[in-house]
A and B are shown apart, each in its own frame.
Chain A
Amino acid sequence: MTAAPAPQDAAVPPRPLDRGIERGSPVLSVEELTVGYVRADGKTNVVVADASLTLRAGHILGLAGESGCGKSTTALAAIGYRAPGSRVLKGRSKLGDVDLLALSTGQLRSVWGRRVAYVAQSASQALNPALPIGRQLAQPLTVHLSLRGQALRDRQLELLEAVRLPEPARALGRYPHQFSGGQQQRIAIAIALACRPEVLLLDEPTTGLDVTTQARVSALLRSLIDETGVAALYVSHDLSLLSTIADGLAVMYAGEVVEHTTADALRGRPRHPYTQALLAAVPSVHRPRAVSGIPGRPPAAVIDDACSFAPRCPYATNTTRETHPELRELEPGHWVRCLRAEEIEPPLVEERPLVRPAPDGRTPLLVVEDVSCEYGGFGAAVVVKGVSFAIGPAQTLGIVGESGSGKSTLLRAIAGLHPPAAGSIRLNGKDLPPRAVKRPRSVRKEIQLVFQNPDSSLNPRQTVGEIVGRPIRLFRDDVPRSGEREAVEELLDAVKLPRGMRGRYAAELSGGQKQRVALARGFAARPSLLLCDEVTSALDVSVQATILELLAELAEQFETAVIFVSHDLAVVRTIATRALVMKDGEVREEGETERLFVSPRDPYTRELLSAIPDLVAEPAAPTGNR
């Protein structure tokens, strides 16, 4: 460390780039990294092939891709971490002139935390709940830098100030559970930056945080990286986020980097069909925009004798199905792994929401009046406070809010799972009994529920046929016992699953397929109102898009009204015709989706909207060089 004192502004962390490194100069170069997992039969499953990345000082390289594409494996292998069962088959990862992949575990221990730091997705799991954060922050400082006493304390405070944690001096003695999720992640970032590392690995650092918190934490990360000059690798599934925060972007598919360029070039003119399809699947809050999913499912391992995307690619030819494409430089700095990259254009995405507004003016289907919900008995926490709204037949209403806004509880109250403390819920003009068991069968039939996580909402001991068949048996008087099998198969057709899945257990299906089964169960009773609780939140973006398309299609086909609860504003804008913004149990704003998203009236709605990065390049910005 140089003798220069810290700048006057306490929020600015110490001395950027004090190692004599120029901003943008290469710090860590990963070359031809190939990682495999050893299977039980002794063979090796290659999961990452020939990944080459360069991390530069003060720059963020975004590593994007859907779950299972190998992005986290690549990132962790790049710093020498060997996941149990994994094996680096080829490649180098050079930090200066040291190859991290050639170091022993003991040698790595002196590198990790000091020269290379890592921020995990979930700070609540990364921090030790039994130790005050001051001790956890001190650990790298004493181990690597041998700081003691006042010097240690000064550095601790400096770091907590740098991550803008309120009251740093008092925070040192507190335990992780005394901080919010966003604050915990700030602390984790402070620990990572403690020894002024040269390389910072961020593995989905803001996933799981609320939108507004997410925006603040990622803005903090950007400014810290600018100030300290650390070379960052930012792993995320969120392309919109990466395209605004990162300098360079690499997109991975089936264990390979398929496109690698600057963030601007990528969103201006994506060249690989997968990148294009992925961008078309991302919903937007800032414009009315349909989404289109990517059909099929990625391969489980690296494919080396064909293009791995060919089975799902609209541009596939016999040549692309039989030749493995190499990564090639299409334009300076723009690398693409596609044989036909020159010929193809990004598909146009329709500038319209998925759902057309249903004719209004009919009598409302469901009226919620002044509903309040509580948890616990005496001195209960009120989580929904006097909410009123109405929804007409075949309409789609979106309810958005951050965690703790009471949106899911409200939905459970409508479903009869959480009796409201006050207020009334009427369906077709008739009061609904608070508990589902007390509701007449004809009412239960009309309201069906789809949950967020199909792993939890589908009984693992029942076959798809049993799961979908149950509401049919209970509610469909028009289907005789002998016709149940056919009714199930029709529903599987409707959700675009092969009929053969009837005999399968949920665990045998992919995430998207499971959610299709959940949708099929939701529509099985032919309800007039379908309640959807974060139904796409556990899914990858390309799968989310297919589920949204499917939901919109089925709602239109069966003329079902949908209440769609989500924390994701973009999804709500895409699927809903009317929207409701909730905060702390109250409705902050309600209106037609278009009006609400274009000219929000409530300050909270405005804050939410401004927190979300826009993936599509601004119309003013140049889109490519043509």
Chain B
Amino acid sequence: MSVAPGAALEVPSVQAIEEEAPPPSIWRTLLTSLEGRIGIALGVVMLGVIAFGRFFTPYSPTEIGTGAAATGPSADHLLGTDHLGRDVFSRFLAGGDTIILVPLIAVTLAFVAGGGLGMLGGYLRGWPDAVITRTFDLLLTLPPLLLVLVVIAGLGTSRLVLVVTVALVFLPRMGRVVRGATQAVVTNDYVAAAQARGERTSAIVIREVLPNIAAPAIADFALRITYAVIFVSTLNFLGLGAQPPKPDWGLMVAESRSFISVAPWATLAPAFGIAALSISFNFLADALTRHLTRETAKGVVPL
């Protein structure tokens, strides 16, 4: 721990800075933590299955009577058949898209709308904040499933309706997180400095506020995806989302659960699919949160 002899007066400070290792990149942190590795590995496998599985189905996923009904695994049917004699493996390969697409789109929608409103409220304060916050509170009082039931009863089950209602469920929750983060950032003097420079509100929000709330917002986004995956599979299970005969994991669990003793894989395979997907997102969200909070503590987050 010695300082080089003859070091000039300003030099030690500069040296001290340059000795500090640059903060690890986000990929590095994700890849070095166990959670991150599991999350990425599982996520890649599951996304691969969902995206490309449909091209490798041995049977048509909707074809009835490809074999005997409700059988266990065999050479012809790797995961057996369901109660209508459809090939479970084919249905499994083809049935993941709703569960990934609907949550992704819905949460993004909720993130943009809720986050935008939350940021507006947190930045403006006063009555706009009161209106926005009370609206969030109002939406939060509605039980999620009830909200979806009512909307779907009124508008029917299309993917669009599903996406919008799921987004509506997640909107106030994400909005509150963003508003809280914004409120904490707005009190900082760099915002006052920008106001004193006479900067436009949009410039202040984009340059001064947004980069500083990105960390908690992204962490929240990742976590909400997990919840949304489970929520959408619940809806599908309840028959509020995907409709038969479409292959869908949530729906498959619902349809074949009465036959679980004779054809267990018709229920277990889609259940595992849902679990694996949400676990991988959850692990990724955890690793991401840890990375972001650690770097924010130091004030630097490479994004």
B211 lies within 8 A of A498 (CB): no
A508 lies within 8 A of B198 (CB): no
- Is A101's beta carbon under 8 Å from chain B? no
List chain A residues, Cβ under 8 A from B11: 311
- Is A172's beta carbon under 8 Å from chain B? no
- Is A496's beta carbon under 8 Å from chain B? yes
Stretch of B34-42, B108-116, B293-301 on the interface side:
B293-301
Sample (12) of A-B pairs whose CB atoms are under 8 Å apart: A306-B2, A306-B3, A311-B12, A318-B6, A439-B198, A456-B188, A456-B189, A459-B211, A461-B211, A470-B197, A498-B14, A507-B298
- Is A510's beta carbon under 8 Å from chain B? yes
Scan A426-456; emit 1 where CB is below 8 A from any B CB, else 0: 0000000000110101001001110111001
- Is B5's beta carbon under 8 Å from chain A? yes
List chain B residues, Cβ under 8 A from A311: 3, 7, 9, 11-12
List chain B residues, Cβ under 8 A from A416: 195-196, 198
User: How long is the Cα–Cα vector from A318 to B6 in the complex, in angstroms?
Assistant: 8
List chain A residues, Cβ under 8 A from B5: 306, 310, 318, 321-322
- Is A504's beta carbon under 8 Å from chain B? yes
- Is B165's beta carbon under 8 Å from chain A? no
- Is B138's beta carbon under 8 Å from chain A? no
- Is A143's beta carbon under 8 Å from chain B? no
Least CB separation from B191: chain A residue: A459
- Decide yes or no: A449 and B193 within 8 Å by CB, A296-B13, A437-B198, A460-B212 being known contacts: yes
Partner of B1, one of A303, A417, A437, A461: A303
User: How long is the Cα–Cα vector from A303 to B189 in the complex, in angstroms?
Assistant: 37
**How many Å from the CB of A315 to the closest CB on chain B?**
13
A508 lies within 8 A of B197 (CB): no
Scan B161-200; emit 1 where CB is below 8 A from any A CB, else 0: 0000000000000000000000000011110110111110
B193 lies within 8 A of A305 (CB): no
User: How long is the Cα–Cα vector from A296 to B17 in the complex, in angstroms?
Assistant: 13
List chain B residues, Cβ under 8 A from A462: 207, 211
Taking A437-B198, A456-B190 as known contacts, 15 extra A-B pairs with beta carbons closer than 8 A to each other, sorted by chain A number, are A299-B3, A302-B1, A303-B1, A303-B3, A311-B11, A318-B6, A412-B192, A417-B195, A449-B193, A452-B189, A459-B190, A461-B212, A461-B301, A475-B197, A507-B298
- Among B192, B195, B212, the most chain A Cβ lie within 10 Å of the Cβ of B192
- Is A300's beta carbon under 8 Å from chain B? yes
Scan B278-299; emit 1 where CB is below 8 A from any A CB, else 0: 0000000000000000000011
B9 lies within 8 A of A312 (CB): yes
Scan A73-88; emit 1 where CB is below 8 A from any B CB, else 0: 0000000000000000
**How many Å from the CB of A576 to the closest CB on chain B?**
22
Least CB separation from A460: chain B residue: B299
A-B complex: 3 closest residue pairs judged by Cβ atoms: A507-B299, A461-B211, A457-B189
B197 lies within 8 A of A295 (CB): no
A451 lies within 8 A of B300 (CB): no
- Is A520's beta carbon under 8 Å from chain B? no
A297 lies within 8 A of B16 (CB): yes
B10 lies within 8 A of A296 (CB): yes
List chain B residues, Cβ under 8 A from A448: 196
A436 lies within 8 A of B195 (CB): yes
**How many Å from the CB of A466 to the closest CB on chain B?**
9
- Is A513's beta carbon under 8 Å from chain B? yes
**How many Å from the CB of B124 to the closest CB on chain A?**
14
- Is A266's beta carbon under 8 Å from chain B? no
Scan A507-530; emit 1 where CB is below 8 A from any B CB, else 0: 111100100000001000000000
- Decide yes or no: A444 and B212 within 8 Å by CB, A457-B188, A458-B190, A507-B298 being known contacts: no
Within 8 A of A (CB), among B204-234: 207-208, 211-212
- Among B10, B17, B197, the most chain A Cβ lie within 10 Å of the Cβ of B197
- Is A471's beta carbon under 8 Å from chain B? yes
- Is A506's beta carbon under 8 Å from chain B? yes
User: How long is the Cα–Cα vector from A449 to B11 in the complex, in angstroms?
Assistant: 30
A295 lies within 8 A of B10 (CB): yes
Least CB separation from A470: chain B residue: B197
Scan A309-324; emit 1 where CB is below 8 A from any B CB, else 0: 0111000001001100
Least CB separation from A377: chain B residue: B126
User: How long is the Cα–Cα vector from A457 to B189 in the complex, in angstroms?
Assistant: 4
List chain A residues, Cβ under 8 A from B208: 459
A415 lies within 8 A of B196 (CB): yes
B6 lies within 8 A of A321 (CB): yes
B1 lies within 8 A of A299 (CB): yes
B1 lies within 8 A of A301 (CB): yes
- Is A474's beta carbon under 8 Å from chain B? yes
Residues of A bordering B, CB below 8 Å? 295-297, 299-306, 310-312, 318, 321-322, 412, 415-417, 436-437, 439, 441, 444, 447-449, 451-453, 456-462, 470-471, 474-475, 496, 498, 500, 504-510, 513, 521
List chain B residues, Cβ under 8 A from A496: 10
User: How long is the Cα–Cα vector from A465 to B298 in the complex, in angstroms?
Assistant: 19
B12 lies within 8 A of A444 (CB): no
B9 lies within 8 A of A295 (CB): yes
List chain A residues, Cβ under 8 A from B211: 459, 461-462
User: How long is the Cα–Cα vector from A7 to B206 in the complex, in angstroms?
Assistant: 68
User: How long is the Cα–Cα vector from A475 to B196 in the complex, in angstroms?
Assistant: 13
B197 lies within 8 A of A471 (CB): yes
- Decide yes or no: A460 and B189 within 8 Å by CB, A321-B5, A436-B197 being known contacts: no
A506 lies within 8 A of B299 (CB): yes
List chain B residues, Cβ under 8 A from A297: 12-13, 16
**How many Å from the CB of A120 to the closest CB on chain B?**
23
Least CB separation from A447: chain B residue: B196
Partner of A498, one of B1, B10, B16, B298: B10
- Decide yes or no: A417 and B192 within 8 Å by CB, A436-B197, A460-B300 being known contacts: yes
Least CB separation from A513: chain B residue: B13
Partner of A296, one of B1, B2, B9, B20: B9
List chain A residues, Cβ under 8 A from B193: 449, 451, 457, 521
User: How long is the Cα–Cα vector from A458 to B191 in the complex, in angstroms?
Assistant: 9
List chain B residues, Cβ under 8 A from A444: 196-198
- Among A296, A417, A458, the most chain B Cβ lie within 10 Å of the Cβ of A296
- Decide yes or no: A296 and B212 within 8 Å by CB, A303-B3, A441-B198, A461-B301 being known contacts: no
B17 lies within 8 A of A509 (CB): yes
Least CB separation from A455: chain B residue: B299
**How many Å from the CB of B130 to the closest CB on chain A?**
14
List chain A residues, Cβ under 8 A from B212: 459-461
User: How long is the Cα–Cα vector from A496 to B9 in the complex, in angstroms?
Assistant: 12
List chain B residues, Cβ under 8 A from A508: 17, 20, 300
- Among A447, A458, A507, the most chain B Cβ lie within 10 Å of the Cβ of A507
**How many Å from the CB of A295 to the closest CB on chain B?**
4
User: How long is the Cα–Cα vector from A490 to B164 in the complex, in angstroms?
Assistant: 54
A436 lies within 8 A of B198 (CB): yes
User: How long is the Cα–Cα vector from A616 to B188 in the complex, in angstroms?
Assistant: 38
A299 lies within 8 A of B12 (CB): yes
**How many Å from the CB of B5 to the closest CB on chain A?**
4
B3 lies within 8 A of A417 (CB): no
User: How long is the Cα–Cα vector from A474 to B195 in the complex, in angstroms?
Assistant: 13
Scan B43-75; emit 1 where CB is below 8 A from any A CB, else 0: 000000000000000000000000000000000
List chain B residues, Cβ under 8 A from A437: 195, 198
- Decide yes or no: A451 and B299 within 8 Å by CB, A322-B5, A474-B197 being known contacts: no
Least CB separation from A466: chain B residue: B207
List chain B residues, Cβ under 8 A from A459: 188, 190, 207-208, 211-212
Scan B130-157; emit 1 where CB is below 8 A from any A CB, else 0: 0000000000000000000000000000
User: How long is the Cα–Cα vector from A441 to B197 in the complex, in angstroms?
Assistant: 9
User: How long is the Cα–Cα vector from A305 to B2 in the complex, in angstroms?
Assistant: 7
User: How long is the Cα–Cα vector from A456 to B1 in the complex, in angstroms?
Assistant: 32
User: How long is the Cα–Cα vector from A302 to B11 in the complex, in angstroms?
Assistant: 18
List chain B residues, Cβ under 8 A from A304: 1
User: How long is the Cα–Cα vector from A300 to B3 in the complex, in angstroms?
Assistant: 11
List chain A residues, Cβ under 8 A from B10: 295-296, 496, 498
User: How long is the Cα–Cα vector from A456 to B42 in the complex, in angstroms?
Assistant: 41
**How many Å from the CB of A44 to the closest CB on chain B?**
11
User: How long is the Cα–Cα vector from A302 to B298 in the complex, in angstroms?
Assistant: 23
